[in-house]
Each structure stands twice: as structure tokens, then as C-alpha cells.
Amino acid sequence: MPNATVSVEHVARDKIMTTETESAALVSRPRGVSWLEGVHVNGQPVGRGDRQSPMFSDTAHTVLPVEFQGREVLFDAHAYEDDSASYQAMALVHRSGEASDALPLVRVHSGCVTGDIFHSLRCDCYPQLQKALDRILAAPVGVIVYLPHHEGRGIGLVAKIKAYAEQDRGLDTVDANLSIGAPVDARDYELAAKILADLKMPAIRLLTNNPLKVEALQRLGITVAEQVQHATSPSAYNARYLATKRERMAHKL
């Protein structure tokens, strides 16, 4: 099967296109002002002319104590809901005790039930998340934007397990997705960009190996001042998975 062109364009929802001018404005609008067409509030579509509607359909904030590597850590936890409960996300923000003008170090992490929760060895999601937590806690300002709806690069849990079965037959991750009629990568980063705008973080250092993630956030108005490599060591179970990322998906590994 020929190599597939990988795109971060979202295939399950209509893509909202913005001009460069509009994108630049995304991070400058105050909280509580709608700047994207198609945001739903209580199930009703909001038009571009409705400037009184909220940026999100619902939000919440608390302090979240977390046990990490044997120590207690406090995060500011921000939860967001966009069009529906299917499009929810969380941002965990950690600031050191010293004031700093340093750019936030940000990990935009795609949710992975098999990896993040059950520590599957078929992917590198769990070690990436743990490494991200370690680096974010060491930074003056660090953020994890966690996107549960990105499961399986956006194709969902059931389709991901179907693709795993195709990998058992010898296909790599790209061809396995295509063999079940799924896109190679169905993620979009609109909600992540909106969250960073809400957190007043228009410019960031991004923990990622994926150049398409950088490009997607920048198209949505977030300045990625630095792409920080975030590689993990391969294992016998995920070596081919990582090689496919590098060879067919242009990841910097």
C-alpha cells in the first residue's frame, strides 16, 4: 500500500478555517467572548455575530493534589467542555514558587486508555505522559493539556483496537488505520488552542516530536516559540510503532 499523506485536519467535525488575522486575534480576546463560529451552548449553534456567548459551553476549576514519584504535587486543574460532553479536556497548570517571565512549557497530550491507564507497551503514551509531568514540574510554568477525545489519534477506542488487530497481521500503524477505513490521524487541536488562549498563554514551548501538531497550533493562533523534543526509549513491543512515526509521519525521533 502506498504511503499515506498524514494530515491533522479533523474528519469527524467541520473544520473551522480562520485567516491569519483572525488566528492572531484568538489569543487577544478576553475570556467570555466567543471568537469561533459553531460553538454550541445548550445544544444550540452560535453564530459569528453572537458576541455575548461564552468561549466554551462549560468550564470548571479546582486545585488537584496528585501523587507523582512518591511526592505530593498540587496542580491548578481547569476542565473545559466544547460542543458537547464528547469534546471535553483538562489543563493541569503548575507554577514554581518563583515569579518568572519564562514561556510556559506545554504538553498537548492525546488521551490513551490503553497506555495512560493500563500502561500498554504497544505505544509510548504512558512514558511520554510521565516524562512530561516530570519536565513540567521542573519548569517555572508548566501545563499539560489532556485531550480524551484524541483516543487512537482521534479515531476512537473501538477503531483503535480494530487497528491493533490489523497490526497483529503485520501492518504498521498507518496501513492498519487505512485498512479499517479510518484516517491515519483524525485529531484537531482547536480545543487545545482555545484552552491555551483562555489560560492567557499565546506563546509556548511545546513538548512534542510531531511537527504537524506545531503547525496546527500555530494556524490556530498559538505561537510555538520552541519545539522541545520529547522522545522515549523503544521497547520490543513498540519499536515498529515508533519507527513508523519517524519514517512515515515525520516525527522527530
Question: Catalytic residue positions?
Answer: 185, 187
SS3 197: helix
DSSP string, 20-80: HHHHHHHTTSPTT---STT-EETTEE--TT-TTS-SSSEEEEEEEEEEETTEEEEEEEEEE
What are the CA-CA distances from residue 209 to residues 32, 56, 117, 146, 249 (Å)? 33, 29, 22, 16, 10
SS3 188: coil
Question: Which residues, 6+ apart, have CB-to-CB distance to 237 below 8 Å?
Answer: 121, 122
Report yes or no: 144 and 206 within 8 Å, Cβ to Cβ. Answer: no
Give the sign of the dihedral formed by CA 79, CA 83, CA 87, CA 93. negative
What are the CA-CA distances from residue 98 to residues 51, 139, 219 (Å)? 37, 11, 32
